[in-house]
Structure 1
Amino acid sequence: MYIHRLKKGFSTTHPLLNKEVQALKNWLSIRTSYPHAESEWVFLSRKGNPLSRQQFYHIISTSGGNAGLSLEIHP
């Protein structure tokens, strides 16, 4: 998976584990029923725009709290 970094970050390619590839394929299959499913972006907002890093951070940290994890979760 290619990760494009902004500003002074380094854009890189990250290999995915088999279970990550399967989870991604499952998500993309489910997403076909969503509006804007044809987008090249993996994760979309309700309006069909790519998720911002702030939106993504909020989702990840909230999900960690909802799961009862006692440590700070971040992407």
Structure 2
Amino acid sequence: MAALAQSVGKRRLFRIPNGVIKMLSGVAVDLIMRSQRVSNRRFREVTSWRPTVPNVQKGWTLIAQGSNNIGR
């Protein structure tokens, strides 16, 4: 969150409290609340994929700038 906020020139981003999200219902809320932790180890083992940016801060900055250089 800090890297994303910095990339758009903000000190911090607005965060919806978990209690508000839990009051809502539906598939979208389930997806938001579910842990999305994944490992790219296996993917890298079976493909030739490698990151194109050195870190998340640089990646979010490029996205916020609308850069066409991401993934090249």
TM-score range, shorter chain: under 0.3
The structure that is strand-richer by fraction is 1
TM-score normalized by the length of structure 2: 0.27
TM-score normalised to structure 1 length: 0.27
**Which structure has the bigger radius of gyration?**
2
